Amino acid sequence: MDTQTWIYLVVGLTFALYLGIAIWARAGSTQEFYVAGGGVNPVANGMATAADWMSAASFISMAGLIAFLGYNASPYLMGWTGGYVLLALLLAPYLRKFGKFTVPEFIGDRFYSKTARMVAVLCLIVASITYVIGQMKGVGVAFGRFLEVEFETGVMIGMAIVFFYAVLGGMKGITYTQIAQYCVLIFAYTVPAIFISFQLTGVPFPQIGLGANMADGTALLDKLDQVVTDLGFASFTDPEHNTLNIFLLTMSLMIGTAGLPHVIIRFFTVRKVSDARISAGWALVFIAILYTTAPAVGGMARLNLMNTIQTGPIGSPEGNLEYENRPEWFRNWETTGLLAFEDKNGDGRIQYYNDANPEFAAEAASYGWAGNEMVTVDRDIMVLANPEIATLPGWVIALVAAGGLAAALSTAAGLLLAISSAISHDLLKGMFTPKINEKQELMAGRIAMAGAVLLAGYMGMNPPGFAAQVVALAFGLAASSIFPVLMMGIFSKRVNKAGAIAGMLTGLLSTVIYIFVFKGWFFVPGTNWFPNTAEYWLLGIQPESFGAVGALLNFAVAFGVSRVTQAPPAHIQELVESVRIPRGAGMPTGH
């Protein structure tokens, strides 16, 4: 069977599975729609959380980042896993004990304020919508490359699938689909990695293979460092000396992870508090399988790529691959424009080196090289082309296609649920039309979900030009506004309504403004006040890393304001005490 047939088969089967689950897991009540009925097994919820969490960015982009940034991509690895420690220890069990449907609902009750709840809804909706656009775009890209359909058609097929199981099944449908999607995506990610690790080092575990020796006895990482530095690139394992930004970026991603509402609400679906704790552990186990594999995928793909092009000694005329003899995968990716070659010195061979490195310029010139000829090497192809680079069979390539789609769809569904529950439960039931009955609320939830799917699809097809920037915004918002206020709501009895609102607004505005002054207001190019370069950054802090600073300001302002205003009423202090004790956690309710 050829690769294309395999792709249709595997993607078609996984989609049939998701639709089957959707029909089986229909939601009959708001409890099922918002929290999947509240009795999800903690291991199953861990798996669903992992799929919910790992997006198209984790699946497709992260290994590519590592391939080209090496050590300097570490904040993504540590940040997007270390956040689960914070979530498990500081938030999940207590929010589960609180026992309601949404994150803004906790903020509204704990700070006895509808305003606080509104601000939380605003943060949630902005963070989730920006995030979901990226997922829809990922669906379109994956379809475009693998199923040879138009980008828009791809997005529409993706929308139709999500629409079906999210609108019909709510959290219940999403939970069981995410479990299936996790299995698809983790299998798709690890199988090529195992093959490649085995090819290069003889060790089937990529995590160990990355630290193992190659057939010639040198360590793989030493070899990789040498291959890249010999061509003027930065060493793979050495840190770039920008410790402050690496530190703050890791911190922002960690607390942002812990504060993302679509992840937090997954812990409302388990039966009791102790289940919420262990479920976070399982979630991290399932996430860690992919995250510890990613450095191996990145490093090994980089080595394979370099060796494919630099086939012999550097500087010898025969040392570089002849363009005419380039492999099949090279041709495939050239047609997508994600890989491009330009024969600058007209020798018919490919020179791939760092022509921006002044120390290497003289050496390159002495070989008759006239600039780097791999003019485009898109980072995202490292995972997608990896099986082809390593000449793995067609069914593995098909798996990767299905895995990328599973990662994007599962995250999109989780985000859409967070958005629709904020609209139907926090805005309608909690604010504007408190008199609606359960049936009406369920219908409102479905309509909100349908609206959110359509909006996400539309934005995915017409990205507002800032799709690449939005991740920083989503994490910045979650880190600076949502996480601190949740944590203070549990760990302090003294922080009151005024403190929480002032803190949230300070964190939110400081972070958003800091991002906008360097990246343009609402990311409109040219509207930035300062160039986005280190000389202009406050204390040298890049906008992506500012979420942690925003969080710090949030804590400081909230405590300060609370100190000079009245303590929360007695019943709120009792609420905090009850949240801290596991016993008595009922099923989540809407009342």
Binding site for other proteins (CB under 8 A): 66, 71, 74, 77-78, 81-82, 84-85, 88-90, 93, 207-208, 210-213, 219-222, 237-239, 243, 246-247, 250-251, 272-274, 277-278, 280-281, 284-285, 288, 291-292, 295, 491, 577, 580-585
Structure tokens at 254: 């960690």
At its nearest, how many Å lie between other proteins and the CB of residue 290?
10
Phi, psi of 375 (to 5 degrees): -70, -25
Our CB check for other proteins shows the closer of 290 and 399 to be 290
At its nearest, how many Å lie between other proteins and the CB of residue 137?
27
Strands (E), 346-455: 374-377
At its nearest, how many Å lie between other proteins and the CB of residue 88?
5
Residue appearing with tokens 């939830």: 445
Report d(CA 548, CA 278) in Å as an integer. Answer: 27
At its nearest, how many Å lie between other proteins and the CB of residue 585?
6
Continuous segment of H or E residues that includes residue 340: strand 339-341
Our CB check for other proteins shows the closer of 240 and 438 to be 240
Residue 534 CB neighbour total at 10 angstroms: 11
Comparing C-alpha atoms, which of 262, 260, 276, 318 is closest to residue 486? 260
At its nearest, how many Å lie between other proteins and the CB of residue 23?
34
3-state secondary structure of 61: helix
Our CB check for other proteins shows the closer of 241 and 435 to be 241
Query: Angle 470-477/497-519 helices, nearest 10 degrees?
Result: 160
Cβ atoms 68, 379 nearer than 8 A? yes
Instruction: Read off the amino acid at residue 228.
Output: V
- Paired with 376 in beta bridges are 340
The conformation of residue 377, written as its DSSP 8-state character, comes to E
At its nearest, how many Å lie between other proteins and the CB of residue 76?
10
At its nearest, how many Å lie between other proteins and the CB of residue 583?
5
Tell me how many degrees the CA angle 222-226-231 measures, rounded to the nearest 5.
155
At its nearest, how many Å lie between other proteins and the CB of residue 210?
7
Comparing C-alpha atoms, which of 462, 438, 466 is closest to residue 525? 466
Phi, psi of 232 (to 5 degrees): 90, 0
Cβ atoms 286, 50 nearer than 8 A? yes
Report d(CA 555, CA 99) in Å as an integer. Answer: 25
Report d(CA 326, CA 182) in Å as an integer. Answer: 35
- Paired with 213 in beta bridges are 219
Cβ atoms 95, 268 nearer than 8 A? yes
Our CB check for other proteins shows the closer of 225 and 355 to be 225
Our CB check for other proteins shows the closer of 15 and 84 to be 84
Contacts of 474 (CB under 8 A, 6+ apart): 127, 128, 130, 131, 256, 260
At its nearest, how many Å lie between other proteins and the CB of residue 538?
20
Give the per-residue SS3 of 439-506: HHHHHHHHHHHHHHHHHHHHHHHCCCCCCCCHHHHHHHHHHHHHHHHHHHHHHCCCCCHHHHHHHHHH
531, exposed or middle or buried, with CB in 10 Å at 0-12, 13-18, 19+?
Answer: exposed
At its nearest, how many Å lie between other proteins and the CB of residue 513?
27
At its nearest, how many Å lie between other proteins and the CB of residue 493?
11
At its nearest, how many Å lie between other proteins and the CB of residue 457?
34
Report d(CA 268, CA 40) in Å as an integer. Answer: 9
Contacts of 229 (CB under 8 A, 6+ apart): 235
Phi, psi of 21 (to 5 degrees): -65, -40
At its nearest, how many Å lie between other proteins and the CB of residue 541?
15
Q: What's the maximum distance between 2 C-alpha atoms anywhere in the chain?
A: 81
Tell me how many degrees the CA angle 113-117-118 measures, rounded to the nearest 5.
115
Our CB check for other proteins shows the closer of 285 and 447 to be 285
The conformation of residue 426, written as its DSSP 8-state character, comes to I
| Exposure on the CB side of residue 79, measured as CA atoms within 13 A | 29
At its nearest, how many Å lie between other proteins and the CB of residue 305?
19
At its nearest, how many Å lie between other proteins and the CB of residue 508?
25
Continuous segment of H or E residues that includes residue 284: helix 273-309
Query: Angle 273-309/74-86 helices, nearest 10 degrees?
Result: 170
